[in-house]
Amino acid sequence: MNKKVLLLFGIATLVACSSSDHGELTGTQNRPEWYPTEPYGMVYIPQGSFNMGTFDEDMPYTMNAPAKTVSVPAFYMDQTEITNNEYRQFVYWVRDSLVRFRLAEAMVEDYDYTDFSEMDEPNYYQEYIAMNYPDSMQRNINWDPFIEWDTYRYPSEEYTEVIEGMYLPPEEQFMGGRMLDSRQLNYVYFWLNKQKAAQKSNRVIYDYNDEDADDEYFSYRDYVQDTRAESDRSSFFEKEIINVYPDTLSWIHDLTYSFNEPQHDKYFWHPAFDEYPVVGVSWQQAKAFCNWRTRYRVEYLKDNEMMFEHEFRLPTESEWEYAGRGGKELTVYPWGGPYATNSSGCYLANFKPMRGNLIVDGGYYPVKTTAYSPNGYNLYCMAGNVSEWTSSAYDEASYYYISDISPDYQYNATEDDDETQKRKVIRGGSWKDVAQFLQLGTRDYEYQDTAKCYSGFRTVQPFMGRDAGDF
C-alpha cells in the first residue's frame, strides 16, 4: 500500500473517530432554522378536502362538472382582490426600471450600471463569475439614484431626452396634456416550463463516459430531438414580453350603449379608486404580476440573507373554490346560503340583483375590496365585485380526469394555438352578473389575452410545510 493511500486512510479514520454523531444517522447538522411568516395582505388557508363541482340546479349550464371530492394542501391567499394601488406598484416598477435602463444606456452621469467586474473590492465569488462566465454577466440597473420627474429640475440635456422619451409625443397629446406612453411599459421575464421538463421524452440523457467526445456528460432530450445536438437546462426557459398597463378602454368596449367614459378616464390612476379592485387586466398580465411579485420579494430576501420562499402565482381552480367556501361544507355562496341576502334583507355581495337595478345591493360598478363582510377564512369579496382569474385552463370535461390530489389542469397556449386552447377559468362572478354566477360551483372562462372591466384577480403562495401548527 503506497504512502498516499495510507495517508488518506488515516485521515478518514481520524475524522470518523472524532465524529460527534457516533456514526449514527442524525441528519445534516447546523441547518438554518425557519419559521413561516404570513405574507403581507394574505391569510392562511389550512389544508383540507371538499366536494368540488355541481351541487345545485344549473339553470344557465354554468356548473358543467360533476361533484368530486378533492384535497388541497395549505396555502396563503390575498385577503382581497389585487387593488388598483397594488397593481400600480407593479406598473411603476416597470416604468422606473425602463427609465433607469435607458439612462444607463445613454451613459447619463450618476445612472451607470452596477457591474460586478467594475466593483472596487469584488469578493471571490464575483471574481470567479467574471473570469469563468463572462457571457452570463448581466449588467445590473442602478436603483440608488433618485429619478427626477419634475421638468423644472431635470439635471441635464441627456437626462431630459430620456425622460421625455417616456411620454407621448406632442402630436399624440390631447389639448397639450403630458401623459406617459403606456405602450412602452413592457415587462420582460422568464419562467421555467416545468410541465415540459417533466415529460418523459424531455428527461436528461446521461453520457457518463463522454462516448460522443463532446465534453458534455448530459443533455436534455427536447433539444436533442427538436433543435440541436446539445442543450442545457435553459431549454425549458420561456420568455414573455407583456405590456402591463390595464386596458382602460374595456370600460367602453365591454358595455355597449352605456356611458362609462368617467371610469375609462379615472378608475385606474385616481386616488379615489386606490382600494378598488384592478380591472382590465388579462390573464397574461396577471401571470406577469405574479412573476414580478415573486422577483420583488426574492430580491429583498437575498439582500437580507434570508431563505427563499415559494413563488406567488394565480390560484388553481380547486384552491379558489376551497378558499371561497371558508371552511363550510356544501355551501352555495361564500357566506353559506342559500340566499344572497341576510336575515335583515341586506345583500351580501356586489352583483346584479334585479334587472336594471344594480345599486340595490349598495354597489354600482366595482366597490372597495373590503366593502362586504369576509367569509370564514377572512377573505373578502369571494363572490361578486369582480370575476377572478385562476391558473387553470378551461375544459368542459376537466373534472372527469383531473387528479383528486391538488387538482389542476394547465395548458401553456401559444399564439399559434386554437382559440379554444386559450381559455382560462374565472370564478366568483362580478358586479354585472346575476346571483347564479356568484355560486361557488359555477365556473366560466375568458380568453387569456382578453381584458374585461369586470375581471380582476388575487394571488396565492403555497405554504412551506404541512400545517402552521407544526411550527
| Separation of alpha carbons 277 and 445, rounded Å | 19
| pLDDT score for 121 | 73
pLDDT exceeds 90 at position 241: yes
Q: Mean pLDDT across the stretch 153-163?
A: 94
| Separation of alpha carbons 310 and 291, rounded Å | 11
H or E element, residue 455: strand 455-456
Neighbours of 468 (CB within 10 A): 16
| pLDDT score for 303 | 85
Close Cβ partners of 364 (under 8 Å, ≥ 6 residues apart): 358, 431
| pLDDT score for 345 | 87
Q: How confident is the model at residue 229 (pLDDT cuts 50, 70, 90)?
A: very low
Average pLDDT, the chain: 85
| Separation of alpha carbons 321 and 70, rounded Å | 11
- As a whole number of Å, the end-to-end CA separation of the chain is 53
| Separation of alpha carbons 351 and 359, rounded Å | 9
Helix axis angle, 157-164 to 84-105, nearest 10° = 140
Which residue's C-alpha cell is 503506497?
2
| pLDDT score for 62 | 54
205-228 pLDDT tens trace: 676 777 666 676 666 555 444 544
Q: Mean pLDDT across the stretch 364-370?
A: 94
Dihedral (Cα; 353, 358, 364, 368), 10-degree rounding: -10
Q: Are 263 and 257 in contact (CB under 8 A)?
A: no
27 by Cβ neighbours in 10 Å (0-12 / 13-18 / 19+) ranks as exposed
303-335 pLDDT tens trace: 888 888 999 999 999 999 999 999 998 888 999
Encode burial over 276-300: b for 16+ CB neighbours within 10 A, e otherwise: bbbbbbbbbbbbbbbbbbbeebeee
Looking at the chain, how many residues does it have?
Answer: 471
Close Cβ partners of 308 (under 8 Å, ≥ 6 residues apart): 298, 301, 302
Q: Of 441, 408, 194, 423, which Cα lies nearest the Cα of 319?
A: 408
Close Cβ partners of 365 (under 8 Å, ≥ 6 residues apart): 263, 267, 431
| pLDDT score for 9 | 44
Q: Are 269 and 88 in contact (CB under 8 A)?
A: yes
The secondary structure of 23-92 as a DSSP string is T-----SSPPP----PPTTEEEE--EEEEES--S--TTS---S--EEEEE--EEEESSPPBHHHHHHHHH
Q: Mean pLDDT across the stretch 179-203?
A: 86
Q: Of 319, 294, 320, which Cα lies nearest the Cα of 309?
A: 294
Q: What structural domains does the chain harbor? A: 44-79+282-470 (3.90.1580.10), 84-185 (no CATH), 190-242 (no CATH)
403-453 pLDDT tens trace: 999 999 999 888 888 999 999 999 999 999 998 899 998 889 999 999 999
Which CB contacts under 8 angstroms, 24+ apart, belong to 176-180? 180/95
| pLDDT score for 208 | 72
pLDDT exceeds 80 at position 114: no
Residue 14 cell numbers, joined:
481520524
Amino acid at 128: Y
| pLDDT score for 209 | 73
124-133 pLDDT tens trace: 877 776 677 6
12-63 pLDDT tens trace: 444 445 567 788 998 888 888 888 888 999 999 999 999 887 665 554 555 5
| pLDDT score for 231 | 57
Sheet with 460-462: strands ordered across = 42-45, 75-78, 460-462
Q: How confident is the model at residue 355 (pLDDT cuts 50, 70, 90)?
A: confident
| pLDDT score for 359 | 87
